[in-house]
Structure 1
Amino acid sequence: MRRAIHLIEEVDFRPMNSRRPLEYLTWLTRYKREDEERAAPELTSGMSIRSREIDLVGAFYAVGITGHPQFKAVTLWDCHGGWDGGWRQMMEIYQGVDERLFLSDIDDLRFSAYSRPLGAAPGCPPLGQAPAAELYLFENARVRPGAALDYLHAVRTERAPLLAEHGHTLVGLYEVLFCDTEAVTVWAVSLDDHLATQRARDAALGLDDEVEPDPRLLDWGKRARDYLEGRWRETLLAPFPGCRLAPGSPPG
């Protein structure tokens, strides 16, 4: 079985205009739904590569109050067929640097976009089977050089069972490719379970005496430092209506 390859992109919109993320996410989810019926990939003017193998699984509005720059969108893509499938199709559009690469229907809508290729770590659930949820917990961790897969193994074997008890479903365990210092994890969670988890952690710190504490949540933070080096952050993402992971969306 070949390794699953994905892409995550973080998009910023400036000057601060709250309508721009809405316009972008509406445009993106609409045209990618159209691509599901496409028989063959095609490079088009205004929309770049059109392909069903480059599959938009998650389109999210970043919940700014959890630590994202405001306003921001995040997208999660599945490259069907891995390196020789959707990834190859994306790379082929750069051969000859076709002028259509420089035309877009959303020119001047985005301020910046930061894309990172992701490689599924051993034990990573198939992205096509990810459940729809109210919220997604998005972790970006800077690890010691070369420690990404070791860290993700610890997440899968130690943290995932713990968070499952708190209503979190593991969606992705990803090594950020073309570097050796970054890992990404994604979890599906309801708002109620998110809040309950935070209160259980507060209680373990002695800061909430109305709920049951779970000191294991603190223990994981200490364990994670065996692998981390530098910045670690978790933020929340809200799935945009029309994407695969939004509640009520038709299955892919």
Structure 2
Amino acid sequence: MRRGIYLLEEVDFRPMNSQRPLTYLTWLTGYKKEDEEREAPELTEGLSIRSRQIDLVGAFYAVGITGHPQFKAVTLWDCHGGWDGGWRQMMEIYDGVDGRLFLSDIDDLRFSAFSRPLGAVHGSPALADVCAEGYAAPLYLFESATVRPGAALDYLAAVREERAPILADHGHRPIGLYEVLFCDTEVVTVWGVSLDDHLAAQRARDAALGLDDEAEPDERLLAWAKRARDYLDGPWRETLLAPFPGSKLSPSRVRSGSSSAG
């Protein structure tokens, strides 16, 4: 089995306008839905590479109150076929630097975008299998961590063996355990979770800290935080993502309304 290769992109919108991420996510999920029936990849004006092998698995609105810049969108892409599949198709569009690369239907909508190429590690589920199962969560926990140079795989192995069972007891399901490629200091993990389980996990941590006497403490949450410091060497952050209707990891593919909440 080939290693899973994925791409995670964070998109910022300035000036602050809540309709910009809505417009972007609606546009993106719409045209990628059309690509599911495409037979062969094609470079087009305005939409760049069109391919069913470059699969938009997750499109998310970043929950700003958990630590994201407001307003922000996050997307998660599956390169079907790995290096020689969707990744090759994305790289081939740079052969000759075709002028169509510089034309976009959403010019001036985005302020900035930052992409991380991701490589799945042992124990990380294949996103295609997750989608085929029909799994979708109302929220996704997104972790980005800076580790000691060369410690990425060791950290992710510890997450799989030690942290995942703890989070499973709090209703968190691992969606992806990823080494950030082309560097040796960063990892990304993604977990599906309900709002109730998210809140219960926070209260269990508070109780373990002696800050909540009405909830059951889970000392393992604090023990893991201490254990993680064996590998961490810089910024570590967890934030929440809300799946946008129309993406494969969303419980609903039909948009029922909009909100300008952070």
Matching residue of 2:60: 60
The two structures, once aligned, show a CA RMSD in angstroms of: 0.8
Q: Give the alignment of 1:170-181 within 5 angstroms.
A: 170-181=174-185
Q: Distance in 2 between matches of 1:238 and 1:43?
A: 30
Matching residue of 1:93: 93
1:194 aligns with 2:198: yes
**Normalization by structure 2: what TM-score?**
0.94
1:243 aligns with 2:251: no
Q: Distance in 2 between matches of 1:7 and 1:107?
A: 21
Using the TM superposition, give the Cα deviation of residue 122 of structure 1 relative to its aligned residue in structure 2, in angstroms. 1.2
SS, match of residue 105 in structure 1: coil
**Normalization by structure 1: what TM-score?**
0.98
1:220 aligns with 2:224: yes
Matching residue of 1:69: 69
Q: Distance in 2 between matches of 1:231 and 1:26?
A: 32
Q: Distance in 2 between matches of 1:112 and 1:31?
A: 21
Percent of paired sites with the same residue: 81
Q: Give the alignment of 1:1-252 within 5 angstroms.
A: 1-130=1-130, 131-249=135-253
Using the TM superposition, give the Cα deviation of residue 27 of structure 1 relative to its aligned residue in structure 2, in angstroms. 0.1
Provide runs of 4+ in structure 1 moved above 2 Å. none
Q: Distance in 2 between matches of 1:129 and 1:197?
A: 27
Q: Distance in 1 between matches of 2:2 and 2:122?
A: 11
SS, match of residue 83 in structure 1: helix
Aligned length: 250
Partner AA of 1:164 in structure 2: A
Using the TM superposition, give the Cα deviation of residue 128 of structure 1 relative to its aligned residue in structure 2, in angstroms. 1.7
Q: Distance in 1 between matches of 2:124 and 2:156?
A: 9
Q: Distance in 2 between matches of 1:245 and 1:172?
A: 12
Partner AA of 2:117 in structure 1: P
SS, match of residue 149 in structure 1: helix
Q: CA offsets per residue over residues 186-240 of structure 1, 9 Å max, x none?
A: 0000000000000000000000000110010000000000000010000000000
Q: Distance in 1 between matches of 2:222 and 2:14?
A: 37
Task: Structure 1: state its 5+ residue gaps.
Answer: none
Q: Distance in 1 between matches of 2:129 and 2:229?
A: 30
Q: Distance in 2 between matches of 1:227 and 1:85?
A: 32
SS, match of residue 100 in structure 1: helix
Partner AA of 1:142 in structure 2: T
Using the TM superposition, give the Cα deviation of residue 103 of structure 1 relative to its aligned residue in structure 2, in angstroms. 0.1
SS, match of residue 123 in structure 2: coil
Deviates more, 1:125-134 or 1:136-145: 125-134
Q: CA offsets per residue over residues 94-133 of structure 1, 9 Å max, x none?
A: 0000000000000000000000100001111111233200
Q: Distance in 1 between matches of 2:67 and 2:160?
A: 24
